[in-house]
Chain A
Amino acid sequence: MTEITLAVNGTAKTVDVEPRRLLADVLRNDFNLSGVHIGCAHGACGCCTVQIDGVPRLSCLTFAVQCENVEITTVESMGGPDATHILQQAFKSEHGLQCGYCTPGFIMTLAPYVDTMLAQRRMPSDEEIREAMSGNICRCTGYHGIVSAVRKAIGDQLGSEAAA
């Protein structure tokens, strides 16, 4: 067992884990973050995506002991219990989710993408949006609503900036 201190969603906590333990399992079991979902555990579906220092990473391909001295963010920190983040709200209005199992992974992958587009003040094409989510599998929606949600989140922000 190894003692490590992880900074998760802005709070540091020390836990005792086996070196082989996956970040996904430690976040789910030791930090009680049930929004981290495991879809394949071999790095192919993106369900378990979290952010490490703001960058989307697969928590099923990452050992917890690799994650000291970084900032880990999960879906729970995005918009709180009411899911108020602009991308979460856009997923809701555009029907970008059905069963919800892949959804946290998509949110954690696409939120930084939305930020990048907003920083560039640019509306990407549908092809670009689809490419940005090519590491995540959704089995329910056929991706249509997710593409619309990304477009809406970016469009609403660009629109309100233009109006301001």
Chain B
Amino acid sequence: MKADSPKHIGARIQRFEDVRLLSGAARYIDDIRLPGMLHCTFARAHTAHGTILEIDTSGLADLDYPTWVFTGKDTAGLSMKAHQDYPEMQYSEQPLLAEGKVRFVGEAVAAVLAEDAYKSEDAAEQLFIDCDPLPVVGTMAQARDASLPPLFDGWHSNVIVQRQMKGGDLEAAKAAAAHIIKRTYRNQRQAGVPMEGRGVVAHYNNADRVLTVWSSTQMPHLVRTYISEELDLPESRIRVVAPDVGGGFGVKGQVFGDEVLIAWLAMKTGRPVKWIEDRREHLIASIHARDHEHTLEAYVSADGRLLGLKADISVDNGAYSTYPFTSAGEPGMVGKVLPGPYDFQAYEATFRALATNKCSIGTYRGVARPSAVFSQERLMDDIAAELGLDPFEFRLKNIIREFPYKNVLGFTYDPGSYAESLELMQTLLADDVAAAKASHASDTTRVGVGIACFIEQTAHGTPDFTRRRTPIETGYIAARVEMAPDGTVTIDLGLQNHGQGLETTMAQVAADALGVLPSSVYVRHGDTLTTPYSVGTWGSRGGALGGGAVHVASLKIAEKLKAIAAHLMQTTPDEIELADGQAYMRSAEDRFIPISKLARAALRNVDQLPPGMLPGLEAEQRQDGPRDGTYANAVHAAVVEIDVPTGKMQLKRFVVVEDCGTILNPLVVDGQVRGGVVQGIGSAMFEHFVYDEECQPLTTSFADYLMPLAPEIPNIEVHHFETPTPLTPLGAKGLGEGGAIGPAAAIGNAVANALGVEVRETPLNANAIWHLSAHLRPAE
């Protein structure tokens, strides 16, 4: 690159997408309005488990406006099928509208349509759903109780799937152990809860026979494929558009039955149909996450070396299997990631998903890793305490230092900065550790410091999904890059941007490869009409794979620009350098041609092209992930202060040391880390979906489901190591989820340190802290 031209990758460039978001000009799903549009309201189950006796719609006749109503009888046979091809897995389908039975409170039973949303809501109130209650399966213990009926006909029990994964000789590890430490850890049910709920608008055009579906989704192409398969429509005549999306976090990273249903309703009624989820619906019937119990047994040598680990993992799945990651995805991921950043070669995990009468479990930022890391890192502290070792020293003794490293399950870790991150964190926290120690003599104010050390497999490639046999099947991201005759650039990106800054970072990547300014690059995304087929934005693959695809595609165009420039300047392409909007000759930098002139030659003045070269400046790249993904690493630390007389806990400090490989834009990277951390703090301290014993949801508004507010959160300190991976084109590793993975473990360890107790479960809310600190208060 020309020595004096700025490199855009790595620059702290302000985001191009911000102006429309700040000015109110953005278009979210509820801003899609079409002439003649009908509004849909779902009548939902009030009973957690029951047989539908009757759906009485006679009340609609009393209304003085037109309504349309559809039930499971109308949509019979249409369903969500999310099956992982494991022989042990019991098959289930979720009907688009309940057929015969309801299996959780909030399940859609009928769709009621009217010409105004207020009217469709009123009309849905007129329906009476008569249900004969069945025994409720409300807990994981009940799901394993053979005396309770299975949720689905033909099932042998409510254990949806149970499998094992193992590596090395666990018996030998156990025999060699001087210490065997066994603990059970528990994480609560919560979810991503974006500020914009979900919503779908659909319209079928009879003239060209094209079905257009707008959905607040992270994966428009997968929505298109599923609708095509389920409604038996040619995929070429389905267009799915994700408009501006108000947060996703994995919640919008599955295909939902309502996306198929709203499309079906638009075709059935011949009118555009819109459904906008309200907050109560979102909290009870969209998607839930976490809800794990892990029993871990560690085998440790006398000198503090981890020899082996045995794990038993259960996830309360709720009623249905979600598409495309399925019921097996969440517990299986725990089994896969528990070996973590530590060097040991004997492991066995048994994992299972259990069916209960609750909202289904799906993906949420970190997918199983926040729970796995909570257990792994609480266990590390519990072992260190039992052996009388310092938590840093114990981890440094066992941390992986040589790369590439093949772990106990056969996954290969690419280079990272595991030990360096721990050592830096140790230095950063020295004063807090001393202050905590000093406070432990006090019975009024206790300070605690806790850390979480973890890795995250990101940007998984197709082989990973093939091994798992999930319906997702692949993990590539595509980009099509095109230069117009004026030299400006369009990227049609297979990712969907919902806060990640992709309209800016992808422009930075193309700008460096093409020698133009990022501001001359327009990034389009979210519309299957314009973007190449891709799996969407999830699994921390945007920067690593989307960036890789843009880079490689842009280089193909750059090669052609160089060939044209060489022809016009009578030199060879390797003599040409693209920078600052010009094609320079390396040996004579005062000789240059504007890139816009080359673009015009490629597309308009094609007589100027080298002999035999075809016109055009476009290229496409599908970037698949590496076989085992690329491993990002981080250490999180929390400093808490607990007022023992009241049990009030304050988060005083939160520090992150992270390594996501090449940083595309530090503004965006820090934003992703901090946002993830605060969601993780929500998991650790606040958020909890509570059901009563009849499986009635009790947290149905933001007054009950508590997310972190600004006053409870400190500024989040972020430090970086940058170890580029050889496995992606730019050296970038995945980044989006990491922030959310560590906080529950770090805060759990901080509370344990402050109070001198073992912490076994989250959330560590005011009630939990009150109980955990009881031993420090005088007995009443």
Interface of A toward B, CB cutoff 8 Å = 18, 20-21, 28, 33-42, 44-45, 47, 74-76, 78-83, 88, 91-93, 95, 97-104, 107, 126-127, 129-131, 133-134, 136-147
Contacts and interface: CB of A to CB of B under 8 A. Distances in A.
Contacts of A28: 30-31
A139 B674 contact: no
Nearest to A127: B711
A61 B130 CA distance: 33
Most buried by B among A35, A99, A141: A99
Given A95-B667, A130-B713, A144-B715, A34 B31 contact: yes
Given A101-B195, A137-B707, A40 B279 contact: yes
The 8 residue pairs across chains A and B that have the minimum distance between CB atoms: A35-B24, A100-B21, A101-B246, A142-B678, A98-B499, A99-B499, A44-B702, A83-B22
Given A98-B499, A134-B709, A140-B247, A145 B22 contact: no
Given A41-B278, A44-B701, A97-B18, A126 B23 contact: no
Contact of A98 (B279, B675, B702): B675
B247 A91 contact: no
B674 A145 contact: yes
Given A92-B18, A92-B19, A100-B244, A143 B194 contact: no
Nearest to A76: B24
B581 interface: no
A140 B196 contact: no
B577 interface: no
Contact of B195 (A76, A102, A107): A102
Given A75-B24, A127-B711, A98 B501 contact: yes
Most buried by B among A39, A40, A76, A137: A40
B677 A97 contact: no
Interface of B: 14-15, 17-28, 30-31, 118, 192-196, 244-249, 278-279, 498-501, 667-668, 670-671, 674-679, 701-703, 707-711, 713, 715-716
Nearest to A136: B710
19 contacts: A34-B28, A40-B279, A40-B702, A47-B195, A76-B23, A93-B14, A97-B18, A100-B244, A100-B499, A101-B28, A101-B194, A131-B710, A134-B709, A139-B249, A139-B679, A140-B675, A142-B677, A144-B716, A145-B671
A127 B499 CA distance: 26
B27 A34 contact: yes
A127 B55 CA distance: 53
B22 A100 contact: yes
B22 A143 contact: no
B186 to A, nearest CB: 25
Contacts of B118: 18, 20-21
Given A88-B23, A142-B678, A130 B710 contact: yes
A42 B23 contact: no
B24 A143 contact: no
Nearest to A131: B711
Given A41-B278, A131-B710, A142-B677, 9 more contacts: A28-B30, A38-B30, A40-B702, A81-B23, A82-B23, A102-B195, A133-B710, A141-B678, A145-B674
A38 to B, nearest CB: 7
A38 B449 CA distance: 39
A47 B711 CA distance: 17
A73 B17 CA distance: 23
B120 to A, nearest CB: 14
Contacts of B244: 99-100
Contact of B194 (A78, A92, A99): A99
A34 B26 contact: yes
B86 to A, nearest CB: 34
B707 A98 contact: no
A134 to B, nearest CB: 5
Given A126-B715, A127-B711, A142-B713, A44 B703 contact: yes
B31 A142 contact: no
Contact of A103 (B21, B248, B671, B674): B21
A95 B710 contact: no
Contact of B702 (A45, A76, A142, A145): A45
A32 to B, nearest CB: 9
Nearest to A132: B710
Contacts of B670: 95
Nearest to B501: A98
B23 A101 contact: no
A104 B24 contact: yes
A134 B708 CA distance: 10
B25 A98 contact: no
B648 to A, nearest CB: 16
A81 B20 CA distance: 7
Given A92-B18, A137-B707, A42 B279 contact: yes
A98 B155 CA distance: 44
Contacts of B501: 98
Nearest to B713: A143
Nearest to A89: B22
A142 B739 CA distance: 11
Nearest to A82: B19
Contacts of A101: 28, 194-196, 246-247
Given A92-B15, A95-B15, A137-B702, A33 B24 contact: yes
A139 B707 contact: yes
A42 B28 contact: no
Nearest to A74: B24
A159 to B, nearest CB: 20
A139 to B, nearest CB: 5
Identify the interface centre among B23, B194, B667: most chain A CB within 10 Å of its CB: B23
A145 B678 CA distance: 12
B381 to A, nearest CB: 25
A141 B675 contact: yes
B710 A39 contact: no
Contacts of B19: 81-83, 92
B195 to A, nearest CB: 4
Contacts of B30: 28, 38
Contacts of B14: 92-93, 95
Contacts of A39: 195-196, 279
A72 to B, nearest CB: 14
A129 B244 CA distance: 28
B674 A142 contact: yes
A4 to B, nearest CB: 17
A52 B30 CA distance: 24
Contact of A139 (B25, B195, B677): B195
Q: Which of A35, A91, A126 has the most CB of B within 10 A?
A: A35
Contacts of B713: 130, 142-143
